[in-house]
Amino acid sequence: MTFTIVFLIAFIASFGLRHWLSQRQIRHVAINRDVVPAEFASQISLAEHQKAADYTIAKLRLGILENGVSAIILIGFTLLGGLQILNLSLLQLLGEGIAQQMALLISIVLISGILDLPFSWYKQFYLEERFGFNRMNGKLFFSDMFKGLGVGGAIGVPLLWVILSLMAQAGDFWWLWAWGVLTVFSLLMQWIFPTFIAPIFNKFQALEEGPLKTQIEALLSRCDFASQGLFVMDGSKRSAHGNAFFAGMGKAKRIVFFDTLIEKLNPGEVEAVLAHELGHYKCNHIRKRLLVSFAISFLTFALLGWISTQPWFYTDLGVMPNLNGYNGGLALALFMLVAPVFSFFLTPLSSLASRKHEYEADGFAADKSSASDLISALVKLYQDNASTLTPDPIYTAFYSSHPPAPLRIANLKRFN
């Protein structure tokens, strides 16, 4: 029962901390709802500022509800015996072996997806609709869902079969082989996703000839950045939010602009936003993030390799393993459910590293493009995306991957 106590302490602490941080953010945003920060007063109206506050609070309240439901589901699967019941049912149906263990994992993913569906629907068709961001209809919503299931199944099921087979046949160091497989797969996905998967969900058209393309190509030349092409994605069919990104590695790199971004920003601002994204590449942020993710996955697989052989890992979490048989899928399922409770406490470290990278990419954009254009672009994006300008400092320190708007813009003004 020792691990049961450790798990419960971590579970209560993580659940309580999530709730406390969300409530802090709600209070802080609400308190500052009626006054636009002085540095934004000339560009953002009080009505827009209040819309951002209301949108932020609405998302947080939905998140609190989701957090509560997720906590109930986790306890239901573990200490209340849900995973045990599901495992025994599938054993009776399919017998022992990899097929049964795969069915167990796929069932958990499907059950979790079904339970999450009402939240996804509510967020898209009530919350996003209420604030004027939703451009999706029900047909597209379900089309995306079934396409996602199809793509996930086509990629995930074979990968899962390989990992479970390694767990069964590769001896004590199966986890090392599994980590190698997953690392190679992750690198392949950098090429596969933009080329084959993304076009299943969105249309990508080459950026039209004209002043914007000329300006972007000049920026790429200044940054010594070679890409496979410049594309515009039809993000407007789902949302009014705008963005720009580049995907892929090596010769498969392609730069993508949401059509909503091009609609809202002038060419100089689009260039500055792209320069920021290029900054992440030129400052080696993407490479660093990949290496960190590989290191973390190595440690995760090593931990799983050890903990999956410990009977207390199963019994203390409400599951009875097959002491003389194969428990690969059961170990993966239990680990997948429980690990986020503990890894949650590392969130501030990844947030801090991400904010540091954002400042560095802003500096690159200011050098290669224009700090003033990036500032005006950011203000428009904060405005159009209803992003709060007054986040709680502690909430920001824990969660935010980007610096708060006032600090980020004050930093950029140093380059003017």
Alpha-carbon span 3 to 11, nearest angstrom: 12
Is 285 annotated to bind a ligand? Reply is no
Q: Determine the distance from the C-alpha atom of residue 85 to the mean position of all C-alpha atoms in its chain, rounded to a whole number.
A: 31
Q: Quote the CA–CA distance of 365 and 380 in Å, as a whole number.
A: 17
> 362 catalytic, yes or no?
yes
- Residue 3: partners with Cβ closer than 8 Å, 6 or more residues away: 312, 313, 316, 317
Closest CA to 250 of 275, 225, 273, 230: 225
Answer whether 189's CB lies under 8 Å from 238's CB.
Answer: no
Catalytic residue among 128, 269, 271, 277: 277
Residue of 257, 244, 148 lying closest to 206 (CA atoms): 257
CA 152/CA 305 separation, integer angstroms: 25
Instruction: Let me know if 269 is a catalytic residue.
Output: no
Residues in a beta bridge with 233: 204, 258
Torsion of CA 43, 47, 51, 54, to 10 degrees: 130
Residue among 369, 375, 374 nearest 220 (CA): 369
Q: Which of 362, 373, 384, 392 is catalytic?
A: 362
Is 280 labeled as ligand-binding?
Answer: yes
Q: How far is CA 37 from the centre of its chain?
A: 29
Distance, CA of 73 to CA of 29 (rounded, Å)? 30
* Residue 44 DSSP SS3: coil
Report CA Rg, the chain.
24
| Residue pair 335/343 in contact by the 8 Å Cβ criterion | no
For tokens 């951002």, the residue is: 52
CB 377 within 8 A of CB 272: yes
| Residues assigned a catalytic role | 277, 362
| Annotated binding-site ranges | 276, 280, 358
| Annotated binding-site ranges for Zn(2+) | 276, 280, 358
